[in-house]
Amino acid sequence: MGTLDPSAAGPAAAAAGDPSPSAAMAAPAGGASVTARARDALVELGVRAAAGRFRPLLGVHTFDPAVASGYRRSAVMILLAPPDGKGPAGAELFLVQRSPHLRDHPGQIALPGGRVDDDDPDEAGAALRETHEEIGLPPQYVEVLGQLPPVMVPVSRFVVTPVLGWTTRPDLCAEVDPGEVLHTIRVPVDALLDPAERATVRIRDHRSAGFRTSSGWVWGFTGNLLDHLFTELGWTREWDRDREVLMDYDPVRRLATPRPPA
């Protein structure tokens, strides 16, 4: 599937003239209409980004073309789906638990994605391929709604393009390659946005936005990207950014684990 053409975006594009996050929608809650609005909000975000009206992710992730030339190109898929009927209403997000044996970001909870290969047509194509490889969802069942501006991940020297995706066939997902991904995590956006499940994750002197899931904390680049995404969508609920979760880093295993309470 190609990136959505703003001229063909329909009703969603009509509201995209307002670049403010609040123009997208309120925090997801309740019913099929909210699920439809979640998709429309992604469409609007993609239109804003294509028109240069998306506020970029700053700080350590600020895109610098001069530095990016020495980084590896990669892409991640921000994939939403209607709820499975078991969790809260609203859209659900796909994450993966990375294998602890990987060279880059081992053991972390992340978005599906990876390096752009030479035979990938573009970043969206790479994100579709990686999504298929990591969670088993064939590309023809992912609707690409747009993409966000590239961001930097200095610790692994990646320049990452976030791709916005939507699927109505999450039932086709399957555990694929345990050597790369331990398992797929499907979490309601409502649950991620619960202020009780939010914190600032600190490893040494490094801090990032955090989201607690049943499989552990989302932190680092993925935490910062999702925090920024939800803010731009107007979905974020106020949470205590002064609350910290401390993690210890094992330099041999290259894994970070939450520090036990004192």
Q: Both tokens of residue 101? A: 């044996």
d(CA 95, CA 210): 14
Amino acid 181: pLDDT: 66
Amino acid 247: pLDDT: 83
Q: Both tokens of residue 93? A: 């997000």
CB-count burial class (<10 Å; 0-12, 13-18, 19+) for 246? middle
Q: Both tokens of residue 50? A: 């294509």
pLDDT in tens, 162-177: 999 999 999 998 877 6
Amino acid 100: pLDDT: 53
Q: Would you say the C-alpha torsion 93, 98, 103, 105 has a positive or negative sign?
A: positive
pLDDT in tens, 173-219: 887 766 676 678 899 999 999 999 999 999 888 899 999 999 889 99
d(CA 172, CA 140): 11
pLDDT, mean of residues 52-71: 90
DSSP letters, 22-61, are: GGT-SS--SSHHHHHHHHHHHHHHHHHHHTT-SPPP-GGG
pLDDT in tens, 82-109: 986 444 457 999 999 866 555 655 568 9
More confident residue, 5 or 221: 221
- pTM score of the predicted model: 0.81
- CB proximity list for 224: less than 8 A, separation 6 or greater: 57, 59, 61, 208, 209
Give the fold, CATH level 3, of 6-258.
Nucleoside Triphosphate Pyrophosphohydrolase (3.90.79)
Confidence tier at 5 by pLDDT (50, 70, 90): very low
pLDDT in tens, 129-164: 999 998 999 999 999 999 999 999 988 899 999 999
- Is residue 164 a contact partner of residue 78, using CB atoms and an 8 Å limit? yes
Q: Which residues make beta-bridge pairs with 207?
A: 202
| pLDDT of 13 higher than 50 | no
Number of Cβ within a 10 Å radius of residue 157:
14
Amino acid 205: pLDDT: 84
- CB proximity list for 32: less than 8 A, separation 6 or greater: 82
51 to 38, 41, 47, 55: CA distances (angstroms): 20, 15, 6, 11
d(CA 164, CA 185): 17
pLDDT in tens, 108-130: 899 999 999 999 999 999 999 99
The SS3 call for residue 111 is coil
| pLDDT of 80 higher than 90 | yes
